[in-house]
Amino acid sequence: MSTPNPPRTALRSALTALAVLLAALFLAPPPASAAPVPPATFTEVTGFGANPSNLRMWAYAPANVSARPAVLVAVHWCGGSATDMYNGSEYKSLADRYGFVVVYPSVTRASKCWDVASPQALKRGGGSDPVGIKSMVDWAVTNYAADTGKIFVTGMSSGAMMTNVLLGDYPDVFAAGAAFAGVPFACFATTNGSEWNSDCANGTIIRTPQAWGDLVRGAYPGYTGPRPRMQVWHGTQDDVLRYPNFGEEIKQWTDVHGLTQTPSATDSPNGWTRTRYGGTGDQAPVEAISIQTGHNVYASGMGARVLTFFGLTPDPGPGNPNPTGPCKVTSSVSAWNTGLTNSVTLTNTGTAALSGWRLTFTLPAGQTITNGWGATYAPASGAVTATNAAYNAALAPGASVTVGYQASHTGNAAAPSAFSLNGTACA
């Protein structure tokens, strides 16, 4: 016996209900999506993609993150961590100012050093740390709709070596890099599983420009696209990764760009020696900065110069990365095995006189102030506030005051970062 057709009124009701449901699905606005990480919060990210060497990832996105932001990968030194890089550099405060996203990779192997030596690391898609970092970049691009033409990387020491490696492995991903106290791509190469190459560290591996360039080109055979620009920094008295590596990096990256080793421009900002190759402006293909200092070459204010090279900020000018700000700070660190002193000069670049001041800054991880002069300092580590003494409370427009402190450290003797005067960021 056949089933009777439903009554016409019931059919009409069913069709009406279906129309209402379809309207709800297709006409209603989509629910608001949550930010990938909480704004203005240093946050660990998991499940970011292929990660053959078990790296960890942290990210920082400012509250005012730009539409289609740039992405900066900030790579820590040997023995450090993502947290150390976050606390020991200026990129968080610069991200707040300019709206880009920062990715902080972190090593989990016992040495806390990056793999810049294995055959896997020195080949595009070969495995090890570069693959994990590339996955972090992909995560940031996807989750923030980032501008793929504005992906950058910077690092210190082992992180500077990784900067060289990433530019070699992924020239189609990174627009530019900045390496503080590093070595050329593949200089640290080993085949016995060792993470350390003494010949390279001691600056005794000397090659022709073409030989260095061929090592970079060999990481991604057949690639014919544009190459990332490179900025290299090195201390003339570096006793960890010795100074000849600076010249070898210049040879490598000028050859990669098809340039000679004859500078297009030479100048001396802040008493440094800066040479530019293939151009005379802020975004020359290769820029090299030599400083009369040791291995800990990075200091406050250099992050702004990195961003200028990347094309994310205007030229900060000699000694003043933010000439329109209310204050300028210069910091001069003298370090030994477990301790350091830092002389800090604060200049009131605003238009109003100060009758009292509080200078806040962030000490790198492992540093603890043991005594100070010209101000009171509290707490002794982390985010520190220096409060004026009675005799130097008044600070007229254009006037400066010099204070300082002595501190212990556990290996990182870098200058503090994120200076603010009475709550407003300084240059």
For the chain of 427 residues, list the mean pLDDT of each consecutive stretch of 10. 47 51 43 71 97 98 94 97 94 94 97 97 97 98 97 98 98 98 98 94 98 98 96 97 98 97 92 94 96 92 93 62 62 85 87 86 90 93 90 86 92 83 76
**Same-domain check for residues 331 and 254:** no
- Work out how many domains the chain is built from and give that number: 2
Shared-domain flag, residues 274 and 352: no
> How far apart are the C-alpha atoms of 400 and 328, rounded to whole Å?
9
| 275 and 300 together in one domain | yes
The verdict on 223 and 285 lying in the same domain is yes
In a domain, 29, yes or no: no
The enclosing domain of 270 has a CATH number of 3.40.50.1820
Is residue 108 located within the same domain as residue 81? yes
Q: Model-level pTM?
A: 0.70
- 56 and 178, same domain (yes or no): yes
Q: Are residues 297 and 351 located together in one domain of the fold?
A: no
Confidence at residue 90, expressed as pLDDT on a 0 to 100 scale? 92
| Same domain as 241, residue 360 | no
Kindly report the backbone phi and psi dihedral angles of residue 334, in degrees, each rounded to the nearest multiple of 5, phi listed first.
-120, 120
d(CA 156, CA 144): 26
Confidence at residue 13, expressed as pLDDT on a 0 to 100 scale? 55
**What's the pLDDT score for residue 1?**
42
> What is each CA distance from 36 to 42, 65, 83, 249, 329, in whole angstroms?
12, 12, 19, 37, 34
Q: What pLDDT does residue 238 have? A: 96
CA distance 154 to 302: 11
Which amino acid would we find at residue 12?
R
Same domain flag for 107 and 132: yes
Q: Is residue 248 part of a domain?
A: yes
Residue 225: name the closest of 161, 165, 294, 167 by CA. 167
Q: Is residue 92 one of the residues assigned to a domain? A: yes
Among residues 359, 248, 362, the alpha carbon closest in space to that of 303 is found at 362
DSSP string over 221-251: TT--SPPPEEEEEEETT-TTTTTHHHHHHHH
Query: Do the Cβ atoms of 71 and 137 come closer than 8 Å?
Result: yes
Residue 414 within a domain: yes
Shared domain check, 345 and 297: no
One domain for residues 256 and 167: yes
pLDDT score of 270 = 84
CATH number at residue 359: 2.60.40.290
Inside any domain, residue 355: yes
Residues 303, 341 share a domain: no
Residues catalogued as catalytic: 157
The counts of H helices and E strands in the chain are: 9, 19
**Domain boundaries, position 218:** 41-310
Give the pLDDT score at 372: 93
